[in-house]
Amino acid sequence: MPNASWLALLEYARWAPSPHNMQPWLFQPLSDTECTLFYDPTRLLPGTNPTGSFMACGFGIMLECLDIAAAPRNQQVDVEFHTHELCSSDGAPVKYATLQLVPRTKPESLDRELILTRRTSRLPYDGRRISEKVYAELVAVAQAFGHQFEYSTDRAEVAWVVALNADTMFYDMSEPVACNEVAGWMRFSRKEARRKADGLAAYAMNANGLLMWLFAKANWLFRIPGIRQFTKAQYIKAMDGTRNVAWLSGPFFEKHDDWINSGRMLARLWLTMTKHGVYLHPFGSIITNAAAHAQMEEHFVNPNRKHPLWMLVRLGYSALPPKSYRLPMEHMLVQERVQS
Ligand SMILES: Cc1cc2nc3c(=O)[nH]c(=O)nc-3n(C[C@H](O)[C@H](O)[C@H](O)COP(=O)(O)O)c2cc1C
């Protein structure tokens, strides 16, 4: 019988963002204070992110959300990992970590309700700059985790980032490995998105379902000169009003613990934005695409930066974005079928 105290916390953690909304986590509450965390090896990105860095980052986000959710009870979630690798397979869930609910020793400044209101916004933004006061808070959040948050409101810089994201998307989708992997997580209709309750839904991507289907299944069409330029311009236009872009650097590329730490930081950064009514749109594919990543490193030169860049985003103010679905709680609870 699933433990009620964990279920109440998981109701928050399940709304954590994950790459392509893949929600690779599963839980097995064992007692009031102990829960086993599993990863689902069928919900990883072996083609576009073979190191597993981005999915581990997603786990870091989810674990931080769980910890924030436990704060009002004066508890925190301690984590002991059983493996530092996320290995893709079509097998059963794999034991990833043991979670312990223990008395809280650190203060919590973020309201856990922010976890439920946070969303990715791929809508047009309203052209407003984010204030220096809010930026200072975001810089401090990153710094607390040993990361650096840099930003720009320069129009040319913003246009460069938006164009790089569009180029990367068009390139990735013309390349079989990335296209097949991403296409498998695309949900073309509202009905499919609701039924599968995961993935990148056209309505959440601010995209037309039929166009998205053609883009994934008949990508050759979008390599025809004219059609390519037109659709890319439309894609860029859908990001009208973007006035703020930001990039993160920090220890990320080598160790599992760094990826988890980066995810924890990203969770707090994103929730801090939510607190200020600021939306975020991560451009993760610029990082997973080696050529785009190299261009980004070359473009954002800063001699004072100590670590590699690992995330590029646009951020700002938009209308309320549509909410992505999440898998039902029953799906996230492990009963049997477990690999130790
Ligand atoms: C590490 C990471 C990378 C992401 N990269 C992208 C990206 O490249 N493009 C994008 O549109 N969304 C990206 N997202 C956003 C997710 O797709 C989004 O969080 C997920 O679909 C759930 O939607 P929600 O944030 O509105 O709840 C990323 C999220 C995470 C955690």
The CATH number linked to 59 is 3.40.109.10
In a domain, 238, yes or no: yes
Domain shared by 19 and 106, yes or no: yes
Phi, psi of 258 (to 5 degrees): -65, -40
- What is the reported pLDDT for 337? 46
In a domain, 340, yes or no: no
Residue 24 CB–ligand 1 contact under 6 Å:
no
In a domain, 326, yes or no: no
Domain shared by 110 and 136, yes or no: no
Domain shared by 174 and 64, yes or no: no
Is residue 115 classed as helix, strand or coil in its secondary structure?
A: helix
Domain shared by 296 and 180, yes or no: yes
Cα 154 to Cα 175: distance, rounded to the nearest angstrom: 32
Query: What's at 141, amino acid-wise?
Result: V
Domain shared by 111 and 136, yes or no: no
In a domain, 49, yes or no: yes
Atom of ligand 1 nearest to the CA of 20: 17
Domain shared by 88 and 189, yes or no: no
- Of 117, 145, 165, which residue is a domain's last? 117
Residue 262 and residue 252 in contact, taking contact as beta carbons nearer than 8 Å: yes
Write down the residue that tokens 């204070």 correspond to.
Answer: 33
Ligand 1 centre distance from Cα of residue 121 (Å): 9
Domain shared by 215 and 141, yes or no: yes
Domain shared by 41 and 142, yes or no: no
Domain shared by 90 and 182, yes or no: no
Ligand 1 centre distance from Cα of residue 65 (Å): 15
In a domain, 332, yes or no: no
Cα 229 to Cα 233: distance, rounded to the nearest angstrom: 6
Residue 199 CB–ligand 1 contact under 6 Å:
no
Residue 339 and residue 91 in contact, taking contact as beta carbons nearer than 8 Å: yes
Decide: pTM greater than 0.85: yes
Name which residue sits closest to atom 9 of ligand 1, judged by CA: 283
Residue 285 CB–ligand 1 contact under 6 Å:
yes
- Give the chain's domain count: 2
- What is the reported pLDDT for 1? 54
In a domain, 331, yes or no: no
- What is the reported pLDDT for 2? 63
Query: What's at 256, amino acid-wise?
Result: H
Residue 265 and residue 149 in contact, taking contact as beta carbons nearer than 8 Å: no
Pocket-testing residue among 12, 15, 20, ligand 1, by greatest number of atoms within 8 A of Cβ: 20
Ligand 1 centre distance from Cα of residue 322 (Å): 13
What is the residue range of 242's domain? 132-316
Domain shared by 204 and 55, yes or no: no
- What is the reported pLDDT for 335? 75
Name which residue sits closest to atom 30 of ligand 1, judged by CA: 19
Cα 197 to Cα 185: distance, rounded to the nearest angstrom: 11
Extended beta strands in 184-242, E state: 186-187, 200-201
Name which residue sits closest to atom 20 of ligand 1, judged by CA: 21
Atom of ligand 1 nearest to the CA of 266: 31
**pLDDT, averaged in runs of 10, over the chain (340 residues):** 86 98 97 96 95 96 98 98 96 97 97 98 98 98 98 97 96 91 96 98 96 93 91 95 98 91 98 98 94 94 93 98 97 70
Cβ neighbourhood burial of 308 (10 Å; 0-12, 13-18, 19+)? middle
Write down the residue that tokens 């990082």 correspond to.
Answer: 287
